[in-house]
Amino acid sequence: MASSSRGQFSSRIGFIMAAAGSAVGLGNVWGFPTQTASNGGAAFLVMYLLMMVLLAFPMLVAELTIGRYGQSNPIASLKKIWVRNQALAIVFGSIAMLAASLILSFYAILAGWLIGFGAAPVMELVGLKGFAEWLETYGVARNLVLTVLFMGLTVYVVQKGVANGIEKWSTRLMPLLFVLFAVLIGYIFTQEGAIEGLEMYLIPDWSHVNAGLVVNAMGQAFFSLSLGVGAMMVYGSYLKKDINIVRTAGQVAVIDTGVALSAGLLILPAMFVAKHNGVQIFNEVGELISSGNLVFTVLPSLFDTMGPIGEVIGLAFFALMVIAALTSSIAMLEVPVACLHEELNIRREKAAKILGLAILILSVIIVVNFSSLFDLVATISTMYMQPLLGVVWAIVIGWIWHRNKQLEEIKQGNPDIEQGWFWKIWPWYVKFVCPIAVLTVFLYPQL
């Protein structure tokens, strides 16, 4: 076993940055604002916050705890708990690995576009107008080149391992992300029209609440906290035993939610600034146009209306998105890499390269069959696999793992936990409420 040479996060803050880096991604800076804008603003926001607190946070604690107990990749960690049913541990660990890979395969395409949109203004500044246009125009060749580039970056970081790759880059990139956000939000509120966006963001229109909205809010919360696919399990396995899991999970969830809320605070006002500047954002019946493409259509046209400063803002904005995407994609790739590295004794560098290539092939297949595959892969992996795997982890914690063993694990780094309210609620909550709630939200629209 390679376990004696396992990596570890070197500090608590390093872990928080890495786990928050995994959580904060396109889900926050792109998915959340887009969903909020197209689902009635504040109504979606409220539902999302509820889902975060009631379902996603307890599940985050669950995944981190399984991982730290196992001190290994998701397959081995599950095996350690599912002693009497090793085959199931292998099956579900492998499904998690597959889900993480599927998510990465479409995520890398999106992130590639963001690189293109970030690089385009720079290319324009140095006089390469034609190239800038190519970068911003949909095309198979462009999609392929940029996806390869993004996947290359991801493999580069993961190859370097836990402390020197994932932790180092997350600790460098996350603060940069926070600063860029603050600057952009500060700027957008100096612009005419921003307040109208703020109103949509903060004043709920309850007529939008329906079963579909609840499902979307749950999916969004699970995606945003990187749940289900074993990413948090594997990060938990690199966590030192003297760290308080509950508190740390709380901090990660707060940072993640904070970034999503900030992204809303940037993008909804930006939409209305764009509208004020003459960019069309709603169609005749008042629906948001091209909601999925919001970030790629509305915002660049907003930056265009701003003159030369718009180029700088555009670059900063897309740089921010790429950073957020990269700290998430490394977490996705880490799941299968840890499995291959530890289960099959393959060197980390080699595992990262092999898996990076395999997932890239998947991305290429999606790029060339974009209209039929992109949404399909995204829906299967995020709307189905993530919540359903979450249910499996809740069952593992609630029904398979002996409660005293859990307590022993969670007590390390948190010796007084037994006396607090958390331990009174959480075990039965994960045992009954989480699986039933996730399944209900999930099945309800199908009934």
Residue ranges that bind ligand PHE, judged by CB under 6 A: 22-23, 25-28, 100, 103, 223-224, 226, 229, 231, 328, 331-332
Q: Is 74 strand, coil or helix?
A: helix
Burial class (CB in 10 A: 0-12, 13-18, 19+), 106: buried
Taking the alpha carbons at both ends of the chain, their separation in whole angstroms is 47
The least distance separating ligand PHE from the CB of residue 248, rounded to whole angstroms, comes to: 17
Chain centroid offset of residue 58 CA: 17
**Lookup: tokens for 226:** 């990187």
**Lookup: tokens for 381:** 């992996």
Q: Which CB contacts under 8 angstroms, 24+ apart, belong to 380-383? A: 380/102, 381/99, 381/102, 381/103, 381/106, 382/103, 382/219, 382/222, 382/223, 383/215, 383/219
Chain centroid offset of residue 384 CA: 15
Q: Is 107 strand, coil or helix?
A: helix
Max Cα–Cα distance, the chain, nearest Å? 66
Please, which residues bridge with residue 288 across strands? 282
**Lookup: tokens for 256:** 């993640």
Rounded Cα distance between 317 and 37, Å, is 18
Rounded Cα distance between 47 and 45, Å, is 6
